């Protein structure tokens, strides 16, 4: 998680309403129009069903309460307005309370294609459709509960599970790749890269995932697939902390990427 953000989240008024500028609404409109075309035939059915339920506006950024109404009615979740950056303690506490953190800023045009920090487009478009699915929502809830109780050193392992499922998870449906991870679903470049033949795509094994390093600033060299969204429910009922201990004992896999070059100060 970055320590400094160039973005400042907007604050809602007493009625929970956020006043977005015309330019911010236009950026949302361009992002969602482009990505809806990009994910055709690639996003999993559960995501597309959730997107239909959310009925997100094309011409403006949705208000969080409009999204929360759908989430509460389907899985008991809701959106929670947060600053651009929050602590891991806050992050896990919100998930454990069935509140999905949404930083209330949208990317600038300079970072239209890629930004390291999750903005409102990433969170709402990329994730909230899946949160209408019970198995996905239950997995996310249980993950938050486990992470809230975990030690700091163990959260590093749990972060890998989140990364390779909720953010960059894939599903094999009738031998075809389908996307359910929000980090892919909200990124045109990552969506296309999944189908390029370049990354390694392997069946998900929890211990292997816990042992797999990742970088946030590159296309992922490896993705992990589940067979159905119900697999996440099964994972949520595993003794994940016991698996973390096994992963720690086995050690990390060799990274499939070059180390990040640090610029001289």
Residue 4 lies in a domain: no
CATH no. for residue 53? 1.10.800.10
Average pLDDT value for residue range 187-212: 97
Cα–Cα distances in Å, from 186 out to 92, 94, 136, 178, 242? Answer: 22, 22, 17, 14, 33
Residue 170 lies in a domain: yes
Query: Residue 3 has what pLDDT?
Result: 58
Residue 255 lies in a domain: no
Residue 127 annotated as binding site:
yes
Model confidence, pTM: 0.94
Catalytic residue numbers, as ranges: 122, 127, 167, 186
Residue 167 annotated as binding site:
yes
Please give the mean pLDDT across all residues of the chain: 95
Residue 2 lies in a domain: no
Q: Decide: 176 and 41 in contact? Cβ < 8 Å.
A: no
Q: How many domains does the chain have?
A: 1
What percent of the chain lies above the pLDDT cut of 90? Answer: 91
Residue 11 lies in a domain: no
Query: Residue 259 has what pLDDT?
Result: 87
Q: What is the pLDDT of residues 96-138, one digit of tens each?
A: 999 999 999 999 999 988 888 899 999 999 999 999 999 999 9
Q: What is the pLDDT of residues 216-262, one digit of tens each?
A: 999 999 999 999 999 999 999 999 999 999 999 999 999 999 888 76
Average pLDDT value for residue range 36-58: 98
Residue 3 lies in a domain: no
Alpha carbons within 13 angstroms on the beta-carbon side of residue 113 total: 7
Q: What is the domain range of residue 121?
A: 22-250
Residue 43 lies in a domain: yes
């Amino acid at each position: 998680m970055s320590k400094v953000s160039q973005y400042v989240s907007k604050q809602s008024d007493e009625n929970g309403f956020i006043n977005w500028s015309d330019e911010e609404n236009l950026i949302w409109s361009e992002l969602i129009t482009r990505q809806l075309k990009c994910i055709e035939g690639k996003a999993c059915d559960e995501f597309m069903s959730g997107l239909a339920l959310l009925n997100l506006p094309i011409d403006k950024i949705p208000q969080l309460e409009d999204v929360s109404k759908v989430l509460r009615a389907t899985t008991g979740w809701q959106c929670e307005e947060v600053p651009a950056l929050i602590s891991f303690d806050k992050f896990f506490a919100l998930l454990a309370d069935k509140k999905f953190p949404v930083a209330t800023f949208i990317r600038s045009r300079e970072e239209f294609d890629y930004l390291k920090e999750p903005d409102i487009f990433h969170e709402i478009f990329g994730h909230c459709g899946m949160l209408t699915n019970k198995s996905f929502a239950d997995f996310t809830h249980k993950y938050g509960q486990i992470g809230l109780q975990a030690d700091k050193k163990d959260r590093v392992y749990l972060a890998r599970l989140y990364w390779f499922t909720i953010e960059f998870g894939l599903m094999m449906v009738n031998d075809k790749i389908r996307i359910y991870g929000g980090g892919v679903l909200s990124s045109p470049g990552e969506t296309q890269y999944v189908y390029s033949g370049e990354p390694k795509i392997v069946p998900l094994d929890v211990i292997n995932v816990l042992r797999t390093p990742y970088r946030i600033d590159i296309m992922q060299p490896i993705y992990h697939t589940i067979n159905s969204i119900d697999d996440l429910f099964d994972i949520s009922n595993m003794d994940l902390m016991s698996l973390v201990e096994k992963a720690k004992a086995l050690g990390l896999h060799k990274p499939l990427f070059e180390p990040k070059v640090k610029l001289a100060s």
